[in-house]
Structure 1
């Protein structure tokens, strides 16, 4: 089942934000996230806020009505943020499987964003998709509407690994979806998961080689995490499958970096590689660089000027609130200066440009010398550029680096 929402403070029914937070809209890039919570089946490892149509039942907010509900929240967002919102620089439609919606509905929601705030001339507009949930015709509709990227959930090229993950697509459909996306003029990102129980190093190499052969613009590769409450967690607990092993996942990360680097992909965030600088996911960069964004949809999270909030999770509750003109926010928090500093360190060190030494407090600057000696921080970047940049080994131990920079060792 989906993971629980944070507690937080009560959110006002009208969604209003402090003036100090609204003032940051003119200072920072602004993005929109759209969460489409529908999936054909629930994968055993997934704890995202997603639902199959059978789980929702007859009274659930359905695929056919979702766009209408999202557009109602968009209107609320326009009222809350006022007139000083810059043109939207990035839109990311995630899920779930957004392409379970009709392409015309995805286009209609993007049109609503354009009408509400405008899109920047170079706006990046992405939708996630499963390889078997798109066609050349549906992708052409998205491209005509203004979408620029599609992020395909490939996960693996090996059938038995896909079965363990409860992924239902045929590996051959990945190549068909990539070709269709290119034919529509869309950039392509491929998502991979490594560390699945039963996945050998040879299996992982097969997946990496398949990705390189497809020549996507962007690749994401994430270590499998066994989340509490998922079917996979229950299987591990019962001893039916083995838990992922840290050493195995570390070796697979190193292989991914070697293979992708050799193929011309440069890492720009610990789990992300791009074929060129303009192929990076700018929407995610906005998250990592303290940008502002409004999250639309059940369970979606938002951030504006140090205030973070999150919507009710169930589609029926969400649809009911927006139909009544009430904010769907379940709770929110105003980040303290301490929390914002911790997040700046946590996110900044994961990026290829690193974190300026000048941004660190005394305990962080003091820790850098030891991190260099331990091979976790690049010495040349620290000495010549005055920035904390992770080595490959440091990327494997990024959490350890963050703790030491925060003086939590």
Structure 2
């Protein structure tokens, strides 16, 4: 998870939740997120909670992390009472594929033993193309994974070099085909656009490669220069230019045109799917205000209007759990106003949009102005929904600010 969570309030050592948070638990979709904090190398643009073997030394290992994960899942069972069945599981990182198929099988077995899996549950793992193989995909398919998200970022070697990505340009496409051949039902490829030095033809080649892979889901994100990263230091020293907003808008439109022409349609500002079934149900749970338990160092959770986040360092995470304590660093109880603001922020980014009555009276007036400015669909607004236009998607953050 990204660096800089809110300060929050102290979290109880036993991890207990207010009774109000547990009301209706299981009536809402429930997901489990597992954070794998290990990476072979650190990408220059990444500010996620990840560690290389050299950074950890002997303080933590995949084995100690897995032991801690099992202890946290046992804690979840005690805190939640009767744990709801998991509709979705998402193993992210970091680089989960470094655990290998056997390690990821153990992760899913641990989740299944506590929560169980609903019929037709979506089970996703992120993977780095370089740490996968046909045997890897066959192994995780047998274990019960139904979806794989591969970090491709670009098909241009010089763009990958700027991002400090170590895989070869063609490896992500090959991995996607291997995943499909192994029986993985849904495969996503991630792209990053707007990297310094990326030309329109570089992005076009990346899009061609993605579509040639035959995946049913694509995520595409503009490059963000995060404070504290190696990329930010290079920009600050003048070695690389800061991504230009107009260029980013042009690149987004280029992505959207290519996706639409290939039959993949946007359902969230940065995500395109070939069908409703191909949409990432786990992420939809986040965007629609569902419940989830986030296990692992730095993972965030949300249950019934209470949000908490774990300590970041794997060694501290495992030591707290070994002592019988919750690994939560802090938590916050969301007020009704907090929840309304988050609903606007997240649901407005979806193709189905946001119900007008979720806005304050002032926000509803502003929505009419936004429709007049070409940012919201007037017909949808008349029908009671705030739906972004194509131009509105380019300015989604600004539209959110206007409506809140």
1-structure distance, mates of 2:24, 2:242: 44
1-structure distance, mates of 2:384, 2:331: 36
2-structure distance, mates of 1:80, 1:367: 42
Q: Determine the structure 1 residue equivalent to 2:54.
A: 54
**Deviation of residue 123 (structure 1)?**
0.3
**Deviation of residue 284 (structure 1)?**
0.2
SS in 2 for 1:38: coil
Q: Determine the structure 2 residue equivalent to 1:124.
A: 122
- Answering whether residue 212 of structure 2 is matched by residue 216 of structure 1, we say no
TM-score by length of 1: 0.97
The residue correspondences of 1:170-249 to structure 2 (distance < 5 A) are 170-186=168-184, 187-249=186-248
What do residues 48-99 of structure 1 show as CA deviations (whole Å, max 9, x unaligned)? Answer: 00000000012x211233222111110011110011x331000000000001
SS in 2 for 1:102: helix
**Deviation of residue 389 (structure 1)?**
0.3
Q: Determine the structure 1 residue equivalent to 2:12.
A: 12
SS in 2 for 1:26: coil
TM-score by length of 2: 0.98
Structure 1: which 5+ residue stretches go unaligned?
Answer: none
Q: Determine the structure 1 residue equivalent to 2:358.
A: 359
The residue correspondences of 1:340-355 to structure 2 (distance < 5 A) are 340-355=339-354
Q: Is the 8 A contact 1:377 1:388 kept in 2?
A: yes
Q: 1:87 aligns with which of 71, 85, 92?
A: 85
SS in 2 for 1:101: helix
- Answering whether residue 174 of structure 2 is matched by residue 145 of structure 1, we say no
Deviates more, 1:65-74 or 1:11-20: 65-74
2-structure distance, mates of 1:135, 1:65: 25
Deviates more, 1:109-118 or 1:266-275: 109-118
1-structure distance, mates of 2:119, 2:132: 26
- Answering whether residue 33 of structure 2 is matched by residue 29 of structure 1, we say no
SS in 1 for 2:191: strand
Question: Structure 1: which 4+ aligned runs deviate by more than 6 Å?
Answer: none
Q: 2:156 aligns with which of 148, 153, 158?
A: 158
2-structure distance, mates of 1:119, 1:219: 25
2-structure distance, mates of 1:51, 1:2: 13
1-structure distance, mates of 2:361, 2:7: 33
1-structure distance, mates of 2:100, 2:65: 10
SS in 2 for 1:219: strand
Q: What RMSD in Å do the two structures reach over aligned CA positions? A: 1.2
Q: Is the 8 A contact 2:173 2:210 kept in 1?
A: no
Q: Determine the structure 2 residue equivalent to 1:402.
A: 400
Count of residues paired in the alignment? 403
Q: Determine the structure 2 residue equivalent to 1:389.
A: 387
Q: Is the 8 A contact 1:24 1:304 kept in 2?
A: no
2-structure distance, mates of 1:73, 1:17: 15
Q: Determine the structure 2 residue equivalent to 1:66.
A: 65
2-structure distance, mates of 1:99, 1:64: 15
2-structure distance, mates of 1:37, 1:365: 42
1-structure distance, mates of 2:4, 2:343: 25
- Answering whether residue 291 of structure 2 is matched by residue 292 of structure 1, we say yes
Q: Determine the structure 1 residue equivalent to 2:370.
A: 371
**Deviation of residue 378 (structure 1)?**
0.8
What do residues 113-144 of structure 1 show as CA deviations (whole Å, max 9, x unaligned)? Answer: 11112101110000000111111111111111
**Deviation of residue 3 (structure 1)?**
2.3
1-structure distance, mates of 2:379, 2:5: 42
2-structure distance, mates of 1:139, 1:65: 24
1-structure distance, mates of 2:340, 2:274: 31
**Deviation of residue 2 (structure 1)?**
6.7
Structure 2: which 5+ residue stretches go unaligned?
Answer: none
2-structure distance, mates of 1:223, 1:65: 35
SS in 2 for 1:51: coil
**Deviation of residue 190 (structure 1)?**
0.3
SS in 1 for 2:397: helix
2-structure distance, mates of 1:52, 1:122: 35
SS in 2 for 1:65: helix
What do residues 12-41 of structure 1 show as CA deviations (whole Å, max 9, x unaligned)? Answer: 000000111011313211000000000010
Q: Is the 8 A contact 2:26 2:85 kept in 1?
A: no
Q: Determine the structure 1 residue equivalent to 2:265.
A: 266
